Structure 1
Amino acid sequence: MALLFGFGNLIYTCVLLINAIAVLSEDRFLARIGYSSSTYDPAFGAGAEAQSMKGKVVNLISSVRTLTRIPLIAVNVVIILYELVFG
C-alpha cells in the first residue's frame, strides 16, 4: 500500500510541474528572461547537435505547451474529481 501511496504523490508532482510549464506566459515572463520562441533565433544551418541548452529549453517549453494542453485539462479534471470523491 505504501508503494501505491508514493506513486500517487509522484503523479501529483508530475502533473503540477507540467501545469507550471503550461501556464507560463510567453509575453510576460518568458520573453523578459529571453526564453521565448519568438526571441530565440538559432544560427542558420545549425543542426540539432549544435543546438544550445537554451534552445533545448525553449523547444521543451513550447512542446509541453502545445502537446499537453488538451490531455492536461482531462488529467486535471480526473484528479479534481478523485480528490472530491475520495478526499
Structure 2
Amino acid sequence: MQDMGLWTLLEGFLFLVNALAILNEERFLAPKGWNFSEVSGGGTKSLKGQFMGLIYATQYLRLPLMALNIIAIIVKVVS
C-alpha cells in the first residue's frame, strides 16, 4: 500500500479545484439558489458567499488550472 505524501495531497486539491471550475451557474448553481447575484449585495461575509467567491475564482483561473493539469499529467506519465 502506498503512503499518502505531499504529491497525493496536491493531486487531491487539484481534483477539487477542477470540480469547482466546471460547475455551470445556469444549469447547476442557479436552480439551487447558489448564483453570485444573490450573495454579491453584501452577503459575501457569509459562508455561502465565501464559497460562491471560491467557485467564481476557480472559474476565472481556468488558464493556470489547465497548465497545472498538464504538469500533473506529465509528472504522472514520467513517474
Q: Which TM-score applies when normalising by structure 1?
A: 0.73
Match of 2:77 among 54, 67, 84: 84
2:48 to 34, 54, 62: 54
- Alignment coverage as a number of residue pairs: 78
- State the shift of 1:42 in Å: 5.0
What is the CA–CA distance in structure 1 between the aligned matches of 2:13 and 2:32, rounded to whole Å? 24
Where does structure 1 differ by over 3 angstroms across 4 or more consecutive aligned residues? none
Runs of 5+ unmatched residues, structure 2? none
Q: Distance in 2 between matches of 1:47 and 1:17?
A: 24
Q: Deviations over 1:19-74 (max 9, x none)?
A: 01001111111111111124x1555xx486xx3222222122112211x2111100
Q: Distance in 1 between matches of 2:43 and 2:34?
A: 19
Identity of aligned residues (%): 35
> 2: CA distance between counterparts of 1:62 and 1:29?
14
Q: TM-score if structure 2 supplies the norm length?
A: 0.79
The equivalent of 1:9 in structure 2 is 8
Larger radius of gyration: 1
Unaligned runs of 5+ in 1: none
